[in-house]
Structure 1
């Protein structure tokens, strides 16, 4: 059954990335993304920063086979994340009902997209989705993200470091002050995160041998929203898995997915992006200098920031977060004055928060401080010089706030990737402050040390 095609009227329209599994116009991959970086392997699709019923209906009837709802829940408490996810699901259910009443029946395939290094509100978000949009026969954890060097083998999730696989529980990401964890073996990770509600021996494992063969019968036997974890070492693994999953879904099986971005590549099956990465400079406005905004504080981002400063002509401006606590208005004024002076000289700027992750007595205090930092960055984006040529936003939460609040975009369409894992969107031509501004969504945990400098050089041109 693994190589068979679905019946007509189920998933027929576009080819998979390395196979010929199609999708119908009535099927939509609906990605509830806990930060705005999940679009890092696709193009031509909409990103939604609002999730009212009308906006969701607009996305459901868009030509693209998938769209992203940017919930930004990774920057929230678990309680807030649950409330936002529930609101999205309730509105989505209503949008689907309205379209069905109007004769446009949509078959949704729901993906809870989260971090490929296992940080995020699991199982909070998948539990809420199951309550509002279920029942599901199974939910699958598929954290592999090949462009970022994340693979899963024998149930263990790895980060490739200098070509060598390192279990993710041995990386800096496992020490995150909000989303830390002890296990890279995914069944143990599930047991840890569900506090034993799902035990490790209850987790179904789909190994590399499984997904590279016929799993159709096994998929059709799943029931009761059983938790499944999926191995994958290359895109072809997920293409084959997705083909069989969609075939089963086309026969009425209902599955929920908690995944990183590479599974979305398999589901969407898009042709190559129309604008090559090196040609993204064509969108820079009037040859003007741009601004790089670095909010991410993980070690990878700090190394990339230092390489950018050391190897390009960018002007570094640090946001002293100690001043944020005592003199926020003066700090904001000083930063905007320096940005305006640099733009008057057509000089590129990198604006970055003080490095390192501050320690707080409680998670709530840590999140509250993060919200205050985000508020400052939003205010700065709103008041950036109107003439800037481009904007690069480094960090997931930073990027979400940049799109939804700083630029006040209701929707944005992904042009493609300027670097593996880094998407480009544009402000609409009628934007009140930044018409046509190209903006790069650059995740905190993507790319080598020179990646940020490479992206800057593409957009800024030779020094």
Structure 2
């Protein structure tokens, strides 16, 4: 680690699903958060590391408990490693879904006090920008306020406005009024604003505009300068700000050449859990590709009886084995029907049961697997922590804008050095999943 890097604050990211690393590379993702594991991240040469909490899949009370537990252990790990300069990022969805302000409140209680917390939801690789404090999603080139998209109708994390000060007021139940939110518009972001940052106190909420990576690069420099002067900042952020804070430069191997990470000359596998419209469109395109074997898992059979999972697992793995004998890449996906539930808790319980089934399938995949593509944020988290049983993984880089690829260790008991793609549900165009498959498949399969 260079002297310059050593003088920078360590960037600690609590990621509510495993896709927040989608703009950086060559750092650690931690699937556990005991003190010793957190010390691995703090001692690592990279200026940034991620703790995958998967809290977006949990109820608010459980998300709070997990966040507090991570922060409590993090305080002990920071003391043990002698790290005094750090920034904390609560990484969440670029379409404003997630446990806000639950998680930032818990972090502030455990690791504060902070002078400010910044909302920076722009994610440029995914076509999400913020202008005049309003957050937009580019849909077919059209800037659409996110409250007009399917994401705002999420049954767990829905919201009514893309104007961030009003969003904050809505999510905090009025505890933070819209007019109390400090707005860093594009003019502020693109100018010298360190003096303004130095005057922030009392964990004030700040909404930050951004249209390009250059905007965040400039703002991150101001933030780091203020932090060097003693200001303590917390972030509720999508992935793009992390690029600007970490300053890692290009990844070691270009996205188009990542097939070199393939560990065998056998097929890989694709597992699809996400149900958003974009995922379904991408799945349909992938199923048109050569060399794939579609395997649908009819999870509706589990709606009333979770014990059906054992039969569904046996059926799916039998089809996987057949696909491998034919040198085909199995594409394992949950049935696309959107099921309705009487309560949020019932939906969460069903989601956990489905994820458990998918992880059982992952554990039953052939050991000679060339690669694994995981589609969906919660699915990807469970693939790493449960399906593969990882304590940590090294991030290789991005195989597609917004899509991280990690590798298991050489000591993994079942899948050593397996490249795993973490493909968020709401990222990429219609051909994105097919593109990643083509970039990883063995040339002769």
TM-score normalised over the length of structure 1: 0.93
Q: Structure 1 regions of 5+ residues with no counterpart?
A: 1-11, 15-21
Q: Structure 2 regions of 5+ residues with no counterpart?
A: none
- Structure 1 match to 2:422: 441
Distance in 1 between the 2:337 and 2:205 partners?
A: 35
- Structure 2 match to 1:408: 389
- Structure 1 match to 2:405: 424
- Structure 2 match to 1:18: none
State the SS of the aligned residue for 1:285: coil
1:159 to 137, 142, 145: 137
- Answer yes or no: is 1:359 the counterpart of 2:340: yes
2:275 to 297, 306, 309: 297
Instruction: Check 1:206–1:199 CA distance in 2 against 1; reply closer, same or farther (3 A cut).
Output: same
Distance in 2 between the 1:438 and 1:26 partners?
A: 30
- Structure 2 match to 1:316: 294
Greater alpha carbon shift after TM alignment, 111-120 vs 306-315:
306-315
Instruction: Report the alpha carbon displacement of residue 135 of structure 1 after superposing the two structures with TM.
Output: 0.4
1:331-346 alignment runs, 5 A limit:
331-346=312-327
Instruction: Report the alpha carbon displacement of residue 390 of structure 1 after superposing the two structures with TM.
Output: 0.7
- Structure 1 match to 2:33: 51
Is 1:298–1:357's contact at 8 Å kept on the other side of the alignment? no
Distance in 2 between the 1:297 and 1:339 partners?
A: 22
Is 1:315–1:349's contact at 8 Å kept on the other side of the alignment? yes
Greater alpha carbon shift after TM alignment, 334-343 vs 39-48:
334-343
Distance in 1 between the 2:145 and 2:276 partners?
A: 18
- Structure 2 match to 1:7: none
Give the superposed CA RMSD. Answer: 1.3
Distance in 1 between the 2:2 and 2:14 partners?
A: 23
Is 1:290–1:348's contact at 8 Å kept on the other side of the alignment? yes
1:94 to 68, 76, 101: 76
Distance in 1 between the 2:114 and 2:258 partners?
A: 41
Is 1:47–1:411's contact at 8 Å kept on the other side of the alignment? yes
- Structure 1 match to 2:433: 452
- Structure 2 match to 1:232: 210
Instruction: Check 1:220–1:428 CA distance in 2 against 1; reply closer, same or farther (3 A cut).
Output: same
Is 1:26–1:106's contact at 8 Å kept on the other side of the alignment? no
Distance in 2 between the 1:412 and 1:321 partners?
A: 29
1:128-277 alignment runs, 5 A limit:
128-277=106-255
Aligned residues: 441
Distance in 2 between the 1:121 and 1:436 partners?
A: 34
- Structure 2 match to 1:330: 311
Distance in 2 between the 1:208 and 1:333 partners?
A: 54
State the SS of the aligned residue for 1:425: strand
TM-score normalised over the length of structure 2: 0.97
Instruction: Report the alpha carbon displacement of residue 164 of structure 1 after superposing the two structures with TM.
Output: 1.3
- Structure 2 match to 1:31: 13
State the SS of the aligned residue for 1:286: coil
Is 1:113–1:258's contact at 8 Å kept on the other side of the alignment? yes
Is 1:312–1:453's contact at 8 Å kept on the other side of the alignment? no
